[in-house]
Structure 1
Amino acid sequence: MPFKEIIKSQTLSARFLRSSAWSIIGYGGGQVIRFASNLVLTRILFPEDFGLMALVTVFLVGLMMISDVGLSPSIQQSSRGDDPVFLDTAWTIQILRGLLLWGASFVIAPLGARFYDSEHLSLMLPVAGISLLVAGFTPTRVETANRHLKIGVVTSLDITAQFLAFVANVALALILQSVWALVIGTVIGAGVRLFFMVAFLPGHKNRIRWESSTATEIVTFGRWIFLSTVCGFLLVQSDKAILGKYIDLSQLGIYNIGFFLASVPQAMAASLMSRILIPIHREWNPLFSHENYTRLRKTRFALTFVTLSLQCVLAWSGIWVVDILYSDQYSAAGGVLVAIACMNTPYLTGMTYDYAALAAGDSKGMFFLQLMKTILQLTLFSIGFFSFGLVGALAGVWLSQLFSHIFVVRLARKHGVWDWSHDLVFGLVATCVCAMAIYVQRDELLLLLDFK
């Protein structure tokens, strides 16, 4: 497609290419800012501070995910996704959720402090929870832009807000010299983003409104999304929740840095796919024609190739990257980075299939897939950790991803999107590349045996 047509055309292909480009720019810019912040803050604060903030993040993410009723995918896939009444009702639900989450942060704060034996959490969680309240007022214009694959303005505003939050974080760290800089910075970041989206994003101006039929539609679709995100929380945050109980905060902080770096390709892919794959599946339904299936197949190959290529690069260069960029007290994060980069390849191979179910409104099928992933991962992670420490835990996660791919394939076949050649090619290549990376760097990876 000519460049001029990509810029101006309103066809689905052109909007897909523009949205993909903006998503990559937005995610890339956000990660550059986050990475720069990480580098600067590790030279001001201590590993224990990052470990403590990792625990705060576990609770914040947990509150968000276990209360998710699927407002974003509801707006994207619903036939009424552009109706002002539908959007205002969704926004009202979102605000109520934000209020409840902030209140919940006061309830869980003393429980978290007692469980992790850290009195700091009793104060930090309610303060950090303000960010959840603020996020509840985010206008539905953001989701409308995603629905129509017009995300350029959203991305520009997001990057600007993240940069200002980065400046605030560094300034607070220099002034406070404590983990409170990270806590307050989280609230400031949420506030800055809300201001930019309200002030500069065009579209429908939300107001408090309630329509029972809309609320019923959202809750009916979202009840399975809610259960899926509960499982998603356990998949994404259970490692840090368990490790935070059994390893010291310094080791947890180092682990969290390695985890952040290793998760860059996965997070980039999730950011891109969540914005473009539901609209694409909605308009290029593979069950309607072979042409649609072929288009989606090419898109899937491209997305998986880019994601796994980046992951394999990290598997080979992770130790070197950490040694170059971080001080000696964070050197063990290199081994964590390599191990997690290798561990995640089975998941990334099947990552694109999930959105076919959401595009078809099959939130129930998505929940059962997430449930099986959660059961397998929690079981094998726990067995591995208590038997062999962190190395065993990460090996357990890798095995759980291999086994859960059976259920990924089952859901993909249900919606007519499974491609055996895609899975075979990328699965074999990624396994061979990562196996060689582990063998070559085995001495550095053995240092992870100390995390127990």
Structure 2
Amino acid sequence: MIALTKLRGGSLGARVMRSSLLTVGGFGFSQMVRLASNLILTRLLFPEAFGLMALVMVFLMGLHQFSDVGVVPAIMQSKRGDDREFLETAWTMQVVRGFGLWVVACGLAWPASQFFDAPELAQMLPVAALTLVIDGFRPTKMVTANRHLMLERVTLLDLFTQVSGIVVAILLAWWWGSVWALVASAIIGSCVQLYVNNRFLPGARDHLRWDRSAANELIHFGKWVFLATVCGFLYNQADKILMGKFLPLDVFGVYNIGFFWASFPMMLGYMVTQKILIPIYREAPPRASAANFAKLRKMRVIVTSMLMVFVGIFSVLGVWLVGMLYDDRYAAAGAVAVVLACAQMPVLIVMTYDQAALAAGDSRRFFYLALARAVLIWIGLIVGVWEHGLLGALIGMGLAYLAAYPAVVWLARRMGAWDAVHDAGFALVALCLTSIALWVNWGAITALAAM
């Protein structure tokens, strides 16, 4: 009864608890659906199909992030985040950007197919890029609900959208037996998301509008976010770009299955930090009082503990899980999942610091952190894949994550958010989990050296 009482009401604590439960619950359900679809699709399609679709997604994410002016975090942190003139100016910028991205994608299609020696990309990229146009029309009331930590209906609509896209992907893969099933399902999923959020979320519909003062605020905040998202793309997609270039397409497809498993904790962490932490930091900045810092410490310990449980499961049991669920074509993906899970532990420990700068409106320092991470991950991956192929690339990623820690501490201290006790305690947990994972899966990991 006490727990239920705490979940009710409009206080920050109640909204945080409700939003956290919805985010974690929705994530858990979506990952079960995602896993089921992955198992079905790996039997209907071939490893090269997953490699091709990964390359398509690299380009779409790159276009998205290379043109991101920070509309979503700007709405979430701005004092004008509920003003219709501000919201509709942001929506107008988003719509124009979507059409521009599709034109750029069409222009890049042929050069991309030549660079990756994958002729199919010349046709796939322009079609898949239609999702960028559709996503440009997403209603701002999706962000408004997130801003006020009212995620109940948003979470349900997200789950419905995901299930719809997966059902379409499976049916089309069964019918066509082609990678085009994945492209078509992505377009249909974007259409479903646009319709259901416009139809079922409360709030006014967006219209084209241009308010000069709103545009100036969005551009001023967004110029550093733009640079940060460019670095974020180079950081998050470096593995796909370099491995897609230097590894055979079937090996790259196996890597992406392993990444699918290892990415569970990272995806959950990003969802929690992006949907919940900016409103928390905005309403209870840690520098303002010792009480705020204590509340954030409690929240940080809960989030990091949850993420470490997930990553511990995948790091120790990754080889067994993949071997049980997939056929021999994907056997090496289990070892990939184990090494990636171990490599990502340093990121999960400090994940709750990143959004403090955006919540304070300091997008410039957020960019500096993103730049440091991008440079380090590229160095680690290039040296690793050049010297030792797939296994070397995975090790290089892990070393890059570790090397970025001082930059994270610098940002967290500037915002008054750094918690050395938290970091040291979970670093010991990560060391123990990594040691157990390597001991249990050593044979499968060393076999990656031959790929």
Give CA deviations for 1:413-433 in whole Å, capped at 9, x if unaligned: 111011111110101210221
1:289 maps to a residue whose letter is S
Structure 1 unaligned blocks of 5 or more: none
TM-score between both structures, scaled by the size of structure 2: 0.98
Which residue is 2:33 aligned to? 33
Do the aligned partners of 2:238 and 2:377 also contact (CA within 8 Å) in 1?
A: no
Q: 1:325-362, CA deviations, whole angstroms, 9 ceiling, x for partnerless residues? A: 11111111000000100000111111110011111111
Structure 2 CA distance, aligned partners of 1:119 and 1:374?
Answer: 29
SS in structure 2 of the partner of residue 117 of structure 1: coil
**In structure 1, the residue corresponding to 2:418 is in which secondary structure?**
coil
Aligned: 1:407 with 2:391:
no
1:14 corresponds to: 14
Task: State the alpha-carbon separation in 1 of the partners of residues 51 and 93 from structure 2.
Answer: 33
Q: Which structure 2 residues correspond to residues 12-411 of structure 1 after superposition, within 5 A?
A: 12-411=12-411
Is the contact made by 2:94 and 2:136 (CA closer than 8 Å) also made in structure 1?
yes
The CA deviation at 1:7 is 4.1
Give the conservation status (yes or no) of the 8 Å contact 1:6–1:18.
Answer: no
What is the root-mean-square deviation in Å for CA atoms of aligned residues?
A: 1.0
* SS, match of residue 208 in structure 1: coil
Q: CA deviation at 1:377?
A: 1.1
**1:444, distance to aligned residue in structure 2 (A):** 0.3
Kept in 2, the 8 Å contact 1:6–1:15? The answer is no
Comparing 389-398 with 308-317, which one deviates more in the overlay? 389-398
**2:333 aligned partner, one-letter code:** A
Give deviations 1:10-43, integer Å, cap 9, x for gaps: 1110000000111112222221221111111001
**Contact 1:146–1:275, Cα closer than 8 Å, also in 2:** yes
Moved more, 106-115 or 23-32: 23-32
- Verify the 8 A CA contact 2:342 2:434 in the aligned structure 1: yes
After superposition, give the CA deviation of every residue in 1:53-76 in whole Å (9 maximum; x if it has no partner).
Answer: 111111111111111111110000
Q: Deviations over 1:286-315 (max 9, x none)?
A: 111110110001111111111112101110
One-letter code aligned to 1:75:
I
**Offset, 1:435:** 2.1
- 8 Å Cα contact 1:68-1:226 kept in structure 2: yes
Letter in 1 for 2:411: L
Matched residue type, 2:145: A
Q: Distance in 1 between matches of 2:371 and 2:279?
A: 25
C-alpha distance in 1 between matches for 2:158 and 2:399: 36
Q: Is the 8 A contact 1:168 1:185 kept in 2?
A: yes
Q: CA deviation at 1:3?
A: 3.4
User: Match of 2:223, as an amino acid?
Assistant: R
Q: Give percent identity, aligned residues only.
A: 45
Gapped regions of structure 2 (runs ≥ 5): none
- Find runs of 4+ consecutive structure 1 residues off by over 2 angstroms: 1-8
Between the aligned partners of 2:77 and 2:321, the Cα distance in structure 1 is 41
TM-score (norm 1): 0.98
